[in-house]
Amino acid sequence: MKKSRIVAVLLCLCLLASQALGEGFGGLTMWGEDVTDLAITVTSVDRTRSLNGAEAPAQSVYVIVNAHIQNMGTVTCQLKESVRATLTWQGQYVYEATVEYRREQVEMLVETEGVFTFCLPEIAAMAPEAELALSFDVDGTPQDKPFTFSAAAVPGVVRPAFEYSGRHTDGLDIALDAPQFADEYNGERDDAYRWLVIPVRLINWGKAPVTLAEEQLKVTLTYLGRYGIAGSLALEAETLDPLHTASGVAVFKTPMVVATAEEDQLGMLVSVREQQWQPEFSLTAVPAPVTALMPVPDPEGLTGVKGILNRTGYVLNGKTYTVYQYTKARDVAAFVADYTALATANGYRVSDVKISELPALSLVRSDGLTALVFYDYSGAMLLMVEDGLDKAVLTLEQKEEMSVAADPVTEGEALPEVRQMLSLKVGDIFTFGHYEQDNDLFQSDEPVDWLVLEVDEENHKALLISRYGLDAKLYNATETNVTWETCTLRSWLNREFLNEAFSAEEQQAILTTAVDNSNSQG
């Protein structure tokens, strides 16, 4: 590869020389040995359930990688023959791309675009980026470094709750959910028994489909570490493709002595073929986090403007939504940031998405229900709430109160944000407040960078100066004899600038300082 780069540099020099000599590009040649060198640059990565109107196979998501390709070598390259793209999850599961190029072949120094489309199971496609590696090889030579990427979440797709690192087998694996006892099951009732019903989920960690009946999958409720009660498994599928999941239920007809046993007398044993393990088992269902099933935050809490019902029964990607319309926020970026914070605090996984080219926030609750916020929808804002979800007005202040209540701060102690500030050292750059700096008045204000000049750890103080000049104002609006005490610059700083650059919370973190206003100070 090093050689290729050197050649590329020479080529550039050559190109300059050729241009200087007035020769045409069509006649561009290179001397020396033939070298293949394609520079592939990923420009974007998207994930989607449907592609060109076609839905992805069950439990699968398309990962679409757009790349810029430039032939830095000395020979014409047939892209379909030369380039191979793979997406690898967990270093184990390798997926090949189907590829479309704008040009089938690229000559020396010619560039084109390629679209690499991978079809991955949901668990891989929606995995954290660090678990995925995108790599290209050209004529069998891998690129130096696998490319890791980030991509938006896919609305409506909830990643199966399995962790590769926590798997029990390299084939079929099973997870147990919250168990429940029933006095009757399928019309059967017996005073000597209760039925323990446990929802189960299965995943095939293998690389080939499995037929469940052949996996000798057994779940056994153990009692006193001595007895085993075989569970009856009813599953929704007969076969499972690699990394695909299925759900079902395990039912144990438990004698009363077992059903009324102390929890520490019970356990669970799972076996698949020769492998056997004891998953964590608790009769007491783990209480869901308080925020797990909270309602969708109503934008009204942030904008102060009530929404109106736009329509009900709106179907998008197979989900049915109720649509509410709001006035667009004045400061869209601030709204998005605050709303994201609110929704996250309510237990939603929030991500930026684009739907029909419109930017939106996707909110996915832990139970899979979703909401979408089109914060810039033709001058308005839309909130789409999937049926089954509620929305509730919750202001940012309430969210702050919730977080303070959850992490109480003793009186006199600095708030968490301030503590973070005081951990800085002299010379650090600290971002604090927002102010218009790029002259693009149609976009939101930019964060203000501050240079730390002095830190007084004992008194929890820091002296800052803005890294960049933020504005230009006269010392005083009129040419009179005036001191700092009454000058208009001071007035502007303490009013307009303070209120524009800092939120109410941020203003509380700014200390009041005694100033010498004597004439000697100017």
Q: How far is the CB of 235 from other proteins (least distance, A)?
A: 6
Helix (H) or strand (E) holding 172: strand 172-176
Q: Does 181 bind other proteins (CB under 8 A)?
A: no
Q: Does 1 bind other proteins (CB under 8 A)?
A: no
Residues 349, 502: Cα–Cα separation, whole Å: 28
Residues 418, 368: Cα–Cα separation, whole Å: 36
Give the nearer residue to other proteins in terms of CB position, either 194 or 365: 194
Contact 201, 162 (CB under 8 A): yes
Q: Does 233 bind other proteins (CB under 8 A)?
A: yes
Stretch near other proteins under the rule CB under 8 A, chosen from 99-107, 252-260, 354-362, 413-421: 252-260
E strands in 302-443: 308-316, 319-327, 349-355, 358-364, 370-377, 380-386, 391-393, 429-435
> 344: burial class by Cβ within 10 Å (0-12, 13-18, 19+)?
middle
Q: Does 227 bind other proteins (CB under 8 A)?
A: yes
Q: How far is the CB of 59 from other proteins (least distance, A)?
A: 18
Q: Does 379 bind other proteins (CB under 8 A)?
A: no
Q: Does 212 bind other proteins (CB under 8 A)?
A: yes
User: 94 CB contacts (<8 Å, ≥6 apart)?
Assistant: 86, 87, 88
DSSP letter assigned to residue 253: E
Stretch near other proteins under the rule CB under 8 A, chosen from 97-105, 108-116, 187-195, 415-423: 187-195
Q: Does 290 bind other proteins (CB under 8 A)?
A: no
Q: Does 238 bind other proteins (CB under 8 A)?
A: yes
Q: Does 234 bind other proteins (CB under 8 A)?
A: yes
Stretch near other proteins under the rule CB under 8 A, chosen from 234-242, 288-296, 372-380, 388-396: 234-242
Q: How far is the CB of 162 from other proteins (least distance, A)?
A: 19
Give the nearer residue to other proteins in terms of CB position, either 256 or 426: 256
Sign, Cα dihedral of 406, 409, 415, 416: negative
- Choosing from 161, 256, 285, 453, the residue that interacts with other proteins (CB under 8 A) is 256
Closest by CA position to 55, among listed 340, 318, 288:
318
DSSP letter assigned to residue 308: E
Q: How many CB atoms lie within 10 A of CB 480?
A: 8
Give the nearer residue to other proteins in terms of CB position, either 185 or 430: 185
Residues 135, 149: Cα–Cα separation, whole Å: 11
User: How far is it between the farthest Cα atoms of the chain?
Assistant: 100
- Choosing from 146, 248, 295, 359, the residue that interacts with other proteins (CB under 8 A) is 248
- Choosing from 58, 161, 182, 230, the residue that interacts with other proteins (CB under 8 A) is 230
Distances (CA, A) of 201 to 174, 234, 246, 356: 6, 11, 6, 34
E strands in 261-330: 266-272, 275-277, 296-298, 308-316, 319-327
Q: Does 226 bind other proteins (CB under 8 A)?
A: yes
Give the nearer residue to other proteins in terms of CB position, either 247 or 395: 247
Q: Does 269 bind other proteins (CB under 8 A)?
A: yes
Site string for other proteins, 401-440 (x = CB under 8 A): ----------------------------------------
Q: How many CB atoms lie within 10 A of CB 373?
A: 28
Q: Does 462 bind other proteins (CB under 8 A)?
A: no
- Choosing from 229, 402, 451, 489, the residue that interacts with other proteins (CB under 8 A) is 229
Contacts with other proteins by CB under 8 A lie at 191-193, 212-213, 217-218, 220, 222-223, 225-236, 238, 248, 250-253, 255-258, 269
